[in-house]
Structure 1
Amino acid sequence: MLNYEVSKKGYEQFKKDLKTNNEAFHWFKSELDFLDSFKIKVDCETALQQIKTINSKYSTHLSFGKSELADESRELAAFIASKSFQSRIGTKDIDVAAALVIDLAKAAKTRGRFLLSFASKYCHHCYPNMFPIYDSINAIYLKENYSYKDKKDYGEYIDAYSRFCQKIDVNLVTVSNRYEGFYVDKFINNIDKNTK
Structure 2
Amino acid sequence: MHLHINTLLPPFPSILILFLLNQHFYPLSYTPTPNKPTKMKLFSLATTLTSLIATVSASLPSTYTLVADGGWTVVTDGTHLYIGTGDIKHYPILILKGGSNDTMITGHKQYDTTTGTQHLYVKKGETAPIALTEPNGAAPAGASVTGFDVDEGDYLLLDGVEAWGVEPNEGQIRRIYWLGEEEDNVGDEYKGIGLWVKECRGC
Higher percent of residues as helix: 1
Query: Shorter-chain TM-score category?
Result: under 0.3
After TM superposition, the score normalised by the length of structure 1 is 0.26
After TM superposition, the score normalised by the length of structure 2 is 0.26
Work out which of the two has the higher radius of gyration on C-alpha atoms and give 1 or 2. Answer: 2
Higher relative contact order (CA 8 A, sep 6+): 1
